[in-house]
Structures are given as structure tokens and as C-alpha cells.
């Protein structure tokens, strides 16, 4: 668990550096080796405590801030990095980017659409049940998604059919610039479970071991065929909503608090207190750093996709004259 958390943090710190390359001074979002938006999950690492209970055949769906969850689920780090860098050998041939990682080797997917991981997780759980397998599905969402129809309808369907799903809310107090209390009167997101007659547990502080322990019962309940659960974990957003977010809306003390409450440092202290020596901790950190550097180096070396393949594997009308990129596409039903 510690290695996954350290890998995720170092990975994101390195992505941050790569992302900023070439984007200054006017912040050109399309410039540099990582074009487009980038949402980092630094401060969310305690959530990996849930994933530690999972097997390869279990399904995980992540949100738009997916890296720590993907790493813990065992997504291929090299191909994930190539995807983020928009390269041909990426998980989605460089077309999905960092919010749309898909690795069927370990049953992992994520989406940039809020709460949209919930319905596919319910589908995976239904498939597991119909196949009489004991695999489970876990859907991660942010606290900003707890009023979304996709989430609420998924809870209902999972409860009615007693499906092996665990819904996990990562509560970082913010949805972009919107504080939680301005959009919902529910203080404890796990209370949403009551409306669906399923267990709901909230881990109030950002602690990976506490998350691990809270998730154990929920995953076990799903695996034994006893139905879904809801878990909320308090995490902290150490960075802006996306890279380039100046966070003018956020009080300084909230940013400082997020940086002070570091679940990785806390776990390291716990490991030391439990007798793990410094040499072992350093070895874990070095292994994680090397893995990250190898993945980034490999990804940057990969070819860019051939523009001729732009219309392959996507749901869209074909261009009016095949093979002519840059031609205006016709989209049925309007000009949006």
C-alpha cells in the first residue's frame, strides 16, 4: 500500500513537470508533451486502501482524477503514461488522454464525466453475478457527484439486485471551485446509503490504514454475495482542480491544511513505529521512483498516432470524404 501511494505521488509530481513544459508564459493548454487538461490526485492517495483488497479479475471504475487508483489496480504504467502523452502505444492509442484510461487486462476504466463510472461498475457486478463468479466491482467518484442521477440510480439498481459493488466517494471538500456545503445538505456522503438500505461508512480522516480497514467489510460483503455498500473517505486536494488552476477561490489556510495532512507521511510514521527500518522505506521509495522514471522515459520515446487513424475506434460520423482530415464533419441533430 505504501509503495502504491509513493509511486502515485512521485508519478504525479513528474507529470506536473512534464505538463508545464512549453505551456508558459501564457498557459497554452495544447502545447508541450502532455496536451489538454490534467487533474492530479495528490492528497487522495489514502483511497488506495480500498484497492488493496482487490484481485485482478475485480473491476474498478475511476473518476477524472484516476492515477492513484489505476496504479493500485495494476494498470500498465508504461502504456498509461504513453496514453497521457498521447502516443500510439498508449492504452487507448493516445486518443483518450489521462481521463480515459482503459486497461482490460486488469479490468480498469475511468471517465471524465462525473459519476459516469457508476453504471459500468454495476454492469460489471451484474456480469459477475450472472457468471456465478465471486469477483466484485468498485466505483470511485468525488463528493461533487453524490447528487448525480448516474450515481443514485446505480445505488438503487445495485441494491435491488444485491450486486457485488462498492461505491467509494472521495471527499476532498471541493468540486472545482464549489465547496461541498453550497451544493448539498448532506454532510456525510455515506448517509446516502440509508435511502437504499445498504451499509454506509465514512472514514473521517485521511488515513490509508483506516480506509483499508473500512473497505475490508464492504469488499467481503460484496464477494460473499451479500450486496453493495457505500464508503466515503476524507481526502485532501493538494493542488488545483486541474493544472493551471490558480485557486483564487480557495482560502490559503485550506490549501495549507491539505499540505499538512499528508496520508503518505502518516503511513511512513506508522510503518516506522511498527518497526520497518529506514533502509526498507528508502528501498521502496527508490523502486517507485525508478518505475516512474522508466515509464516516462519509455512513453516519451513512443510514436505519435498517425493522423490517418483519427477516425478509427471512435463513435462519430465518418468524415464526408474519407481520408481528408480537417474537413468539416457533419453531426446529426445540430451543430453542437
Ligand X SMILES: Cc1ncc(C[n+]2csc(CCOP(=O)(O)OP(=O)(O)O)c2C)c(N)n1
In the shown chain, the binding pattern of residues 236 to 275 toward ligand X, with x for contact by CB under 6 A and - for none, equals -----x----------------------------------
CA 305 to chain CA centroid, Å, is: 25
* Contact pick of 55, 57, 113, 226 for ligand X (by CB under 6 A): 113
Does position 145 interact with ligand X (CB under 6 A)? The reply is yes
- What are the E-state strand segments in 150-272? 165-171, 174-175, 178-179, 200-203, 229-234
Contact partner, 200, from ligand X, Mg ion, none, Cβ < 5-8 Å per class:
none
CA 97 to chain CA centroid, Å, is: 13
DSSP per-residue letters across 271-287:
HHHTT--HHHHHHHHHH
In the shown chain, the binding pattern of residues 95 to 134 toward Mg ion, with x for contact by CB under 5 A and - for none, equals ----------------------------------------
Does position 112 interact with ligand X (CB under 6 A)? The reply is yes
CB of 143 to ligand X, least distance (A): 5
In the shown chain, the binding pattern of residues 52 to 81 toward ligand X, with x for contact by CB under 6 A and - for none, equals ------------xx----------------
* Contact pick of 49, 119, 144, 189 for Mg ion (by CB under 5 A): 144
The residue range among 12-20, 27-35, 136-144, 188-196 that interacts with ligand X, by the rule CB under 6 A, is 136-144
* Contact pick of 105, 160, 176, 183 for ligand X (by CB under 6 A): 176
SS (H, E, C) the chain: CHHHHHHHHHHHHHHHHHHHCCCCCCCCCCCCCCCCCCCCCCCCHHHHHHHCCCCCCCEEEECCCCHHHHHHHCCCHHHHHHHHCCCCCCCCCCCCCCCCCEECCCCEEECCCCCCCHHHHHHHHHHHHHCCCCCCEEEEEEHHHCCCHHHHHHHHHHHHCCCCEEEEEEECCEECCEEHHHCCCCCCHHHHHHHHCCCEEEECCCCHHHHHHHHHHHHHHHHCCCCCEEEEEECCCCCCCCCCCCCCCCCHHHHHHHHHCCHHHHHHHHHHHCCCCHHHHHHHHHHHHHHHHHHHHHHHCCCCCCHHHCCCCCCCCCCCCCCCCCCCCCCCCCCC
Does position 314 interact with ligand X (CB under 6 A)? The reply is no
Does position 172 interact with ligand X (CB under 6 A)? The reply is yes
- Measured from each CB, the residue nearest to Mg ion is 142
CB of 65 to ligand X, least distance (A): 5
Nearer to ligand X, 4 or 172 (CB): 172
* Contact pick of 142, 150, 164, 240 for Mg ion (by CB under 5 A): 142
- Measured from each CB, the residue nearest to ligand X is 142
The residue range among 19-27, 109-117, 152-160, 219-227 that interacts with ligand X, by the rule CB under 6 A, is 109-117
* Contact pick of 71, 175, 190, 239 for ligand X (by CB under 6 A): 175
Binding-site size, ligand X (CB under 6 A): 15
Alpha-carbon distances, residue 247 vs 21, 63, 110, 174 (angstroms): 21, 21, 25, 11
* Contact pick of 7, 81, 116, 172 for Mg ion (by CB under 5 A): 172
Contact partner, 114, from ligand X, Mg ion, none, Cβ < 5-8 Å per class:
ligand X
Does position 142 interact with ligand X (CB under 6 A)? The reply is yes
User: Which residues lie near Mg ion (CB under 5 A)?
Assistant: 142-144, 172, 175
User: Which residues lie near ligand X (CB under 6 A)?
Assistant: 64-65, 112-114, 141-145, 172, 174-176, 241
Amino acid at each position: 500500500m505504501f509503495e502504491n501511494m509513493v509511486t502515485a505521488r512521485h508519478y504525479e509530481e513528474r507529470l506536473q513537470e512534464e505538463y508545464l513544459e512549453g505551456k508558459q508564459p501564457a498557459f497554452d493548454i495544447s502545447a508541450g508533451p502532455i496536451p489538454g487538461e490534467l487533474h492530479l490526485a495528490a492528497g487522495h492517495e489514502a483511497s488506495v486502501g480500498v484497492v488493496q483488497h482487490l484481485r485482478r479479475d475485480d473491476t474498478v471504475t475511476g473518476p477524472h482524477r484516476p492515477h492513484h487508483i489505476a496504479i493500485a489496480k495494476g494498470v500498465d504504467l508504461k502504456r498509461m503514461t504513453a496514453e497521457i502523452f498521447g502516443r500510439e502505444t498508449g492504452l487507448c492509442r493516445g486518443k483518450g488522454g489521462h481521463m480515459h484510461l482503459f486497461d482490460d487486462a486488469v479490468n480498469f476504466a475511468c471517465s471524465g464525466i462525473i459519476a459516469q463510472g457508476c453504471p459500468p461498475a454495476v454492469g460489471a457486478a451484474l456480469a459477475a453475478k450472472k457468471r456465478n463468479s465471486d469477483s466484485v466491482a468498485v466505483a470511485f467518484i468525488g463528493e461533487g457527484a453524490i447528487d448525480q442521477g448516474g450515481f443514485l440510480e446505480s445505488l438503487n439498481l445495485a441494491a435491488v439486485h444485491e450486486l457485488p459493488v462498492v461505491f467509494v466517494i472521495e471527499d476532498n471538500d471541493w468540486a472545482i471551485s464549489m465547496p461541498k456545503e453550497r451544493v448539498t445538505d448532506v454532510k456525510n456522503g455515506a448517509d446516502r446509503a440509508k435511502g437504499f438500505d445498504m451499509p454506509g461508512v465514512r472514514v473521517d480522516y485521511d488515513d490509508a490504514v483506516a480506509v483499508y480497514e473500512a473497505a475490508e467489510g464492504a469488499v467481503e460483503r460484496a464477494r460473499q454475495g451479500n450486496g453493495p455498500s457505500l464508503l466515503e473517505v476524507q481526502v485532501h486536494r493538494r493542488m488545483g482542480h486541474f493544472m493551471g488552476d490558480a485557486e483564487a477561490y480557495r482560502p490559503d489556510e485550506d490549501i495549507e491544511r491539505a499540505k499538512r495532512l499528508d496520508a503518505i507521511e502518516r503511513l511512513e510514521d506508522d510503518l516506522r513505529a511498527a518497526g520497518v527500518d529506514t533502509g526498507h522505506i528508502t528501498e521502496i521509495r527508490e523502486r517507485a521512483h525508478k518505475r516512474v522514471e522508466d515509464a516516462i522515459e519509455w512513453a516519451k520515446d513512443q510514436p505519435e498516432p498517425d493522423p490517418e487513424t483519427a477516425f478509427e475506434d471512435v463513435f462519430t460520423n465518418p468524415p464526408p470524404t474519407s481520408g481528408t482530415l480537417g474537413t468539416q464533419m457533419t453531426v446529426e441533430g445540430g451543430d453542437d
